[in-house]
């Protein structure tokens, strides 16, 4: 006989456990599956990116998303994230050049590796 059997108030009865799903648990499950954009996002930076050609704004927001998600200053962008935003490899390259020229990001490129992107802080 174990110690657990002697501590039950009714040792001969099995107690059935049922987990109740609350609204908070349900919301956390929903949030885990969805992408989000964490702020603050400087509006002047968004305005600059919005004026750039092509997918520059979408790529700028993707960089913000990945930076907030990883907590690292320098990030690479996963192919799945880019596909979700409708950004092709060519559009990514052109948008990175535009964002770099506008002074919103710095890009470290290495042959055979994904570009490492870092957001520049605005004064």
CATH of the domain at 81: 1.10.10.10
Residues 6+ apart with CB under 8 A from 99: 49, 52, 56, 59, 60, 63, 105
Q: What is the mean pLDDT of residues 69-74?
A: 91
* 81 shares a domain with 53: yes
For the purposes of burial, counting CB atoms within 10 Å of the CB of 67, is it exposed (0-12), middle (13-18) or buried (19 or more)?
A: middle
Report the interhelical angle of 89-101 vs 56-70 (nearest 10°). 90
Query: Beta 105-108 vs 74-75: how paired, if at all?
Result: unpaired
Q: Which residues contact 34 (CB under 8 A, 6 or more apart)?
A: none
Average pLDDT of the chain? 85
**Residue 106 gets which letter from DSSP?**
E
Cβ pair 69, 77 in contact under 8 A: no
Residue 10 has pLDDT above 70, yes or no: no
Which pLDDT score, from 0 to 100, does residue 53 have? Answer: 96
* Pair (57, 98) in one structural domain: yes
Give the CA count within 13 Å in the CB-facing half-sphere of 18: 2
What percent of the chain has a predicted confidence (pLDDT) above 70? 80
pTM of the model: 0.71
Instruction: Report the pLDDT value the prediction gives residue 90, as an integer from 0 to 100.
Output: 94
* Whether 19 and 49 share a structural domain: no
pLDDT of residue 58: 96
CA dist., res. 94 & res. 62, Å (int)? 15
Q: In the prediction, which pLDDT does 38 show?
A: 84
Query: Is the domain of 104 the same as that of 48?
Result: yes
Domain count, the chain: 2
Tens-digit pLDDT profile for residues 19-59: 777 777 766 665 566 777 888 889 999 999 999 999 999 99
Q: What is the pLDDT of residues 77-92, one digit of tens each?
A: 999 999 999 999 999 9
Mean pLDDT across the stretch 67-86? 92
Q: Does the CA dihedral 65-82-95-75 come out positive or negative?
A: positive
């Amino acid at each position: 006989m174990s110690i657990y059997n002697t501590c039950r108030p009714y040792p001969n009865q099995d107690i059935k456990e049922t987990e109740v799903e609350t609204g908070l648990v349900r919301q956390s499950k929903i949030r885990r599956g969805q992408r989000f954009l964490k702020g603050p996002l400087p509006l002047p930076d968004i305005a600059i990116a919005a004026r750039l050609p092509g997918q520059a704004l979408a790529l700028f927001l993707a960089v913000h998303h990945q930076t907030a998600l990883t907590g690292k200053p320098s990030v690479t962008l996963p192919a799945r994230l880019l596909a979700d935003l409708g950004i092709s490899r060519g559009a990514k390259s052109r948008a990175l050049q535009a964002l770099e020229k506008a002074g919103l990001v710095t890009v470290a490129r290495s042959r055979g590796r994904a570009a490492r992107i870092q957001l520049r802080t605005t004064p």
